[in-house]
Amino acid sequence: MKHTKREWMPLYSFLDRKRVTDHLADMAARGWMLDRLGTWSWHYRRTEPKQLRFAVTFFAGAGRFSPAPPAGLDTFQDYCAQAGWHRAASSDQVQVFYSEDPAAVPIDTDPAAELENIRRSIGKPMMRNYLALLLLCLLEVAFQCYQIWTDPVETLASPTALLAATAYLPLLVLTLASLLLYHRWQRRAEAAVEAGLPLPDLRSARGLGILVLMWSGLLIAGLFASISRSTGMVILTIGMVLFFALVYFLANAARKALQRLRCPPWANLLVIVGICIAMFAGGTTGLFALMIRNAGSGWLEDHPPVETYTAHGMTWSVYADPIPLRVEDLVDIDYDGWSTEADVEWSPLAAHGEYRQDARLGDGDLPELRYEIVTVKLPFLYGLCKRDFIQWVERDNDQLPMEYWEEYRTVTAAPWGAEEVFQRYSGAEPVNQFLLCWPDRMAEVKLPWDWRLTADQMAVIGEKLLHA
């Protein structure tokens, strides 16, 4: 028979006191007595089923980084014991008591003093935490919006980037809802004090909390799905999760030890921040060292090369990915040592493929082929992606004399079978780089500089890339 029980993520607000106390009373009636309030769970021990009353109150002298036990807490608990209330569990400022006497006088009897105690003990810290979390969420959402605006092609087609862009939205909604609900509760509590009535409860936003947890689970599942093709990335991600867990464990253990040593809150916080910075710095250094050491090994790639070779003292990878347009489609060439690589990502918003065809180093002066294909699934995003290609060519113009400015200029589209075609110019000189545009697709093609394209070659390129 189990003698302990853990209730994961209860998602109760401690200001939702009636719901909390009713829940704890129900657990006690079933033989489970609250034993400890953890960060992520509530702990119970098995007892004889009893009909108990529970009360939730707050002690302003306690805190996450305050010395433990805080001064005056023993006196407060003795006062409660004299009134028939015994401590069940506590977590920072939150104090949970129980009583076997159904007629025991409530711990808090003065609504005005109770409201002031709530504001001092949990109201101000909670508001600071919520505002800091809100700022973090807003900064992250703003950063992701900036990423979409400045690099729409890469971002919109990347499931990982879209997951990151939406990761903070549920938390943002939950934080805003919590702030608004607490503000509303304060107004109701002030009205109750003026009327001499008991303070109202702040209803728990459990539904939003459950949605955030579900969304977090989907994000984690989506992240692992997006990297599942690379064994190295899966191992690296799991290692990072374990590392973060280790940082949390060590920081929490240090915090509790410093509390027992009765360090002041500012010193405790400073030490914890220092531990986190040092461990993150060490972890980041180790991560970069690992990635540099394994660069070119294919360990972190989602598809390994078919073979490798050595040239100029370095190891090079050879790939055999299928690509829609090949050098052989445009010119007659007798060579079978090509490396063809395709890097394709897709999301519900866009698909983006980067393709390249290279000869092996040392096999002579053979042509290389580079091109990208973007399929836009939502029409209003088309202009954003098109602008990305055009502005990328113009990105360094502010550092160049005007006669050397890079830009895309409109050229005749008919030979390509496209609706619109742009050619890159470096000053007055045309470059063999083209941007082909169709209603829901665009393709950027980079060809050897010395090629003189014929109309037939243009038609082949347009046909291959349109139907890729």
What percent of the chain stands above pLDDT 90? 44
DSSP 3-state of 57? strand
Instruction: Give per-residue pLDDT as tens, 381-440.
Output: 999 999 999 999 998 888 988 888 999 999 999 999 999 999 999 998 999 999 999 999
What backbone phi and psi angles, to 5 degrees, belong to 178? -65, -40
Domain locations along the chain: 4-99, 231-301, 307-466
**What are the CA-CA distances from residue 207 to residues 9, 12, 181, 334 (Å)?**
13, 10, 14, 66
Q: State residue 229's pLDDT score.
A: 64
Which amino acid is present at 179?
A: L
CB 409 within 8 A of CB 422: yes
Token digits of residue 18: 């009636």
43, pLDDT greater than 90: yes
The pTM of the whole model exceeds 0.85:
no
Q: State residue 171's pLDDT score.
A: 81
How many helices (H) does the chain have, and how many strands (E)? Answer: 12, 15
Token digits of residue 57: 């109150």
| Residues counted in the chain | 468
Pick from 456, 396, 408: which is nearest to 436 by CA? Answer: 408
What percent of the chain stands above pLDDT 70? 95
211, pLDDT greater than 90: no
Q: How far is residue 423's CA from residue 256's CA, in Å, rounded to a whole number?
A: 65
